[in-house]
Amino acid sequence: MRRWIGILLLAVWPAVAGAAESSSEQPGETAAQRGYRLLTEKPYLPPDFDQATFDNLWRVWEEPLRSQAAEATPEARREMAFQRYGLVVRPGDPQQRPMQYVVDAQGQYVMNCMACHQGKVAGRMVPGVANSLLALETLTEDVRRTKLMLLKSWSRMERGSLVMPLGTTVGTTNAVMFGVALMHYRDADLNVHTGRLPPPMVHHDHDAPAWWHYGKKTRLYADGFVPKSHRALMPFLLVRENGPEKFRQWEDDFKAIEAYLESLDAPNYPGAVDRDLASLGEEVFVRMCSECHGTYGSQETYPQRIVPLDEVGTDPVRLTALSEEHRRGYRDSWFGYYGEHDVKIEPQGYLAPPLDGIWASAPYFHNGSVPTLWHVLHPSERPTVWRRTAGGYDHTRVGLEVSSFDEVPGDIESSAERRWYFDTRQFGKSAAGHEFPEVLTEDEKRALLEYLKTL
């Protein structure tokens, strides 16, 4: 039984099978342009579902949504599906394909990196903004039920999610444990070992970072334990069908994908800014925040500081969930250049991120537990339970448009609906910590909030 579960854990992320080669450079194409093309056009993983499955997902939706979809046009149903699952239409694409999937000529949908790393903010797509509307668990549940209805075989996603949670709240995923499970079944050279028993795992949800911060960083992940490299972008390809030769073969691809990430710029705030108030806020920022988050403007700095856990006080689960054994295995493997890279085996805290485009990167903290910058600056006012709207943006508090609750409403029957509620009392979801703004006056907080819009 345990071995069967272990084999299923390998299937948490899809695998590649006969992926079409599209790695060659195109005339006049920059490395960054090639990287974007590879992300959106090359299937490194096998299909999760086909067009027929996607077109019939509405048939398993809960009421009254199912009846609404039944009366809608195919185009309207497709738009409803995109909204339900957090999918974004590719700009200028006449086929209206989602950014989050490579869709081939046969209508096969293959998940790509943009499932977690490309979404919308304030109702519009911003290159590199994390997908805070991704409903991966809901999508996978619906695909599983639809395939049963259509008598189609389950993919690895549908099977793997029976033993591993994919994400308990819209916009977050269990990605850290995906990596633990996948890496566990490889040796240092990335050869597959399916006979191993499942690793210890601490399931918890994580909020994906904005990709435009990649260029500033030299270390990755919330705890900064991994040095930046193109290889660090590849662990989620670790499935049985992707042997060591595939990773060597795809290195140049991911160098181009890394170039795309490096090319992204933070978006400008689209609303009005009180420049005089922001100027006062800059003084507060330099005094209170720059030691960890750097400075901005004509002479930018980013200290890449790891803030000790007992100092920042945010939820500890992400830091403690990764074992020394897992970190050491990464360091000694092909990903860590066989020990040549400075992988941190015992990180002591969380990496204070850059704040460029912070207005667009809500929700905040590594677990996505704080919906607005106003709540970041008012620790005692952070909601216990909150639910965001599908596309709204709060320009006053700068972040997600949310409703607050003392409890998750007890009359919710749909698991898909329940995932729209973020409960900060749940494991790994605490909104506590980062209480540094408590020493500021209300006027200083107001000025600081205005300044943060300008970054």
So what's the pLDDT on residue 1? Answer: 36
Looking at residues 211-239, what average pLDDT do you find?
A: 96
- pLDDT over 80 at 287, yes or no: yes
So what's the pLDDT on residue 27? Answer: 81
Over 60: is that where the pLDDT of 72 sits?
yes
Q: How confident is the model at residue 26 (pLDDT cuts 50, 70, 90)?
A: confident
Half-sphere exposure of 196 (CA within 13 A, CB side): 16
A 10 A CB-CB count for 313 gives: 16
Confidence at residue 22, expressed as pLDDT on a 0 to 100 scale: 59
Residue 290 and residue 411: Cα distance in Å, rounded?
45
Give tens-digit pLDDT for 379-433: 999 999 999 999 899 999 999 999 999 999 999 999 999 999 999 999 999 999 9
Specify the DSSP class assigned to residue 248: H
Phi and psi torsions of 393, nearest 5°: -135, 135
Integer CA distances (angstroms), 101 to 33, 41, 116, 122, 256, in order: 18, 9, 11, 22, 19
Q: According to the model, what pLDDT value does residue 23 have?
A: 60
Handedness of CA 410, 172, 197, 158 (dihedral sign): positive
Residue 239 pLDDT level (bands cut at 50, 70, 90) = confident
At 3 the pLDDT is: 36
Q: What is the largest CA-CA distance in the chain?
A: 65
pLDDT value of residue 10: 36
Using a pLDDT cut of 70, give the percent of the chain over it: 95
User: Does the pLDDT value for residue 12 go beyond 80?
Assistant: no
